C-alpha cells in the first residue's frame, strides 16, 4: 500500500536516481519530469523523511528541554526558539521534564539519537553534570543551555544575570526609601537561590534585615503574602522571582487594605504580559527571554551547521520595567 521511490520510478519508466533528482530539484529532462510528476500525483507520493534522515544523518529536529511549558517563561522561550528554528527548517521537540531527574534522563535517552541538537532552558539542567552516564548521551551533539554549563564537547552557555536583576530592583526600592522589603522565593533550584542572593546582597549593603518567604506553588503568591502581612505589618516592599507570584502578592496586599504602589511596592520577575493583567500593573524585571531565546536558537543552528565550536558564554543583562506597582 505504502508507495516508495522504487514504485514511482518503475511506473514512470525511469530510475530511482532520476526520481530522486527530480525530488531534489536537479536537472531532469522535461518529458521524464512530466511522467514522474504524473505518477507522484496519481499516488500522492511523499518521500520518507526518515529515510532521508538516515542518509543525511539528520532529521532537522532539535529538542528543547523545559520544566513545564505551562509556565510563561518556558512557553515564551519555546515559542521564540521554535519560531526562529522553523525558519531554518528545523522542527522542535518539546520535553516537559517537570524538573524531575528521571524524566530528564528518559527524555535525553530517547531524544539524543534523534535530534541535531538540544537547548536546555534554565539552570536546573545543570543537575545533569552530576551524572556522567547521562552526559555521555549528549557528548556528541551540540548543546545550548541558559544559565548553566554542561560538561560536554560542545556546549554554548547563555547567561542572563538574574541575580544582578534582583539586586538592582532591590536597590531601586531602597533608593526610593523602602526599608521593610520582603522577598518571596519560588522553588529551590540554583536559579532561585541566585535570585534570592541578589536580594540579600542589596539588603545587606543597606544594612536592612533580609526577610525571605518561600512557596513552591507558582500561584501561591496570594497565600504566602497573607502570612507575610500578618508577620510584618510595616511591609513596604515585596519582590519575587516570578511575575505570577508577585501578582498574587498584589492581590493579597490590596485585599488587606495596603495600597500597592503607594504604601507598598511590588516587583516581579520576567516582565511577562501578565504584568498588564494585574491591578495595579506589575513593575517587573525583564530578563530578556525573547533575546536570549533567539540567541539560543541562532547559536544552536551555528553549532549544527557550521560545526561551530565557539563556546564563549553569551551574557544578557536584565532591565527593570517600571509600571504601577513600584
Partner DNA sequence: CTGAAAGCGCTAACAG
Partner DNA sequence: CTGTTAGCGCTTTCAG
Q: Which residue, 113 or 306, is less far from a second copy as judged by CB?
A: 113
**DSSP one-letter string for 107-143:** HHHHHTTT-SEEEE-SGGGGGGGG-HHHHHHTSSS-E
Regarding 41 and contact with DNA (CB under 7 A), the answer is: no
Helix 243-255, helix 221-231: angle, nearest 10: 50
34: partner contacted, choices DNA, a second copy, none (Cβ within 5-8 A by kind): none
- Print the binding letters for residues 213-252 with DNA: x by CB under 7 A, - otherwise: ----------------------------------------
Tell me the Ramachandran region of residue 261: left when phi exceeds 0, alpha when psi lies from -120 to 50, beta otherwise: left
Taking CB under 8 A as the binding criterion, the range among 83-91, 153-161, 178-186, 192-200 that sits at the site for a second copy is 83-91
Assign 149 to helix, strand or coil: coil
Three-state DSSP class for residue 236: coil
Check binding of 47 to DNA (CB under 7 A).
Answer: yes
- Which of 34, 54, 279, 290 binds DNA (CB under 7 A)? It is 54
Cell representation of residue 249: 502578592
92, 81 contact by CB (below 8 A)? yes
Which of 79, 131, 159, 208 touches a second copy by CB under 8 A? 79
Question: Residue 102 interacts with a second copy (CB under 8 A)?
Answer: no
- Compare residues 51 and 322 and give the one whose CB is closer to DNA: 51
Q: 101-129 burial by CB neighbour count: b if 16+ within 10 A, else e? A: eeebbebbeebbeebbbbbbbbbbbbebe
CB of 27 to DNA, least distance (A): 3
Neighbours of 6 (CB within 10 A): 11
Measured CA distances, 274 to 100, 147, 155, 244, 264 (Å): 27, 23, 32, 7, 20
> Nearest approach, Cβ of 69 to a second copy (angstroms)?
5
Three-class DSSP labels, 21-52:
HHHCCCCCCHHHHHHHHHHHHHHCCCCCHHHH
Nearest residue (CB) to a second copy, 85 versus 235: 85
The contact mask relative to a second copy for 202-241 (x = CB under 8 A, - = no) is ----------------xx--x-------------------
Give how many residues touch DNA by CB under 7 A: 28
Taking CB under 8 A as the criterion, the residue among 111, 118, 264, 267 binding a second copy is 111
Strands 91-96 and 237-240: unpaired
Among 32, 47, 127, 201, binds a second copy (CB under 8 A): 47
Report cis status (omega within 30 of 0) of the bond before 280.
Answer: yes
Q: Is 52 or 83 the residue whose CB approaches DNA more closely?
A: 52
Candidate list 34, 37, 56, 204; residue touching DNA; CB under 7 A? 56
Between residues 139 and 190, which has the closer beta carbon with respect to a second copy?
139
Point out which residues bind DNA (CB under 7 A): 2, 4-6, 13-18, 20-21, 23-24, 27-29, 31-33, 47-48, 51-52, 54-57
Amino acid at each position: 500500500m505504502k508507495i516508495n521511490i522504487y514504485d514511482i520510478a518503475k511506473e514512470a519508466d525511469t530510475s530511482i536516481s532520476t526520481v530522486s533528482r527530480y525530488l531534489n530539484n536537479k536537472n531532469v529532462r522535461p518529458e521524464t519530469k512530466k511522467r514522474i510528476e504524473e505518477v507522484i500525483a496519481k499516488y500522492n507520493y511523499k518521500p520518507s523523511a526518515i529515510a532521508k534522515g538516515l542518509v543525511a544523518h539528520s532529521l532537522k529536529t532539535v529538542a528543547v528541554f523545559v520544566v513545564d511549558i505551562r509556565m510563561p517563561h518556558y512557553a515564551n522561550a519555546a515559542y521564540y526558539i521554535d519560531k526562529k528554528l522553523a525558519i531554518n527548517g528545523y522542527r522542535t521537540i518539546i520535553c516537559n521534564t517537570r524538573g524531575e531527574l528521571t524524566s530528564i534522563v528518559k527524555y535525553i535517552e530517547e531524544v539524543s539519537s534523534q535530534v541535531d541538537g538540544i537547548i536546555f532552558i534554565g539552570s536546573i539542567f545543570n543537575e545533569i553534570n552530576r551524572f556522567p552516564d547521562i552526559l555521555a548521551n549528549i557528548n556528541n551533539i551540540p548543546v545550548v543551555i541558559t544559565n548553566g554549563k554542561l560538561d560536554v564537547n560542545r556546549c554554548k552557555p547563555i547567561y542572563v544575570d538574574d541575580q544582578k536583576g534582583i539586586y538592582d530592583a532591590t536597590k531601586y526600592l531602597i533608593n526610593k526609601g523602602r526599608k521593610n522589603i520582603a522577598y518571596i522565593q519560588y522553588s529551590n533550584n540554583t536559579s532561585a537561590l541566585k535570585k534570592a542572593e541578589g536580594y540579600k546582597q542589596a539588603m545587606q549593603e543597606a544594612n536592612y534585615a533580609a526577610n525571605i518567604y518561600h512557596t513552591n506553588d507558582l500561584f501561591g503568591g496570594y497565600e504566602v503574602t497573607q502570612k507575610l502581612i500578618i508577620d510584618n505589618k510595616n511591609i513596604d516592599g515585596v519582590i519575587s522571582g516570578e511575575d505570577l507570584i508577585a501578582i498574587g502578592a498584589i492581590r493579597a496586599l490590596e485585599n488587606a487594605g495596603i495600597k500597592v504602589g503607594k504604601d507598598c511596592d511590588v516587583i516581579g520577575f520576567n516582565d511577562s504580559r501578565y504584568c498588564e493583567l494585574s491591578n495595579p500593573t506589575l513593575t517587573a524585571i525583564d530578563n530578556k527571554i525573547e533575546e536570549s531565546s533567539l540567541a539560543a536558537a541562532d547559536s544552536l543552528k551555528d553549532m549544527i551547521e557550521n560545526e561551530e565550536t565557539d563556546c564563549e558564554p553569551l551574557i544578557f543583562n536584565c532591565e527593570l520595567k517600571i509600571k504601577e506597582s513600584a
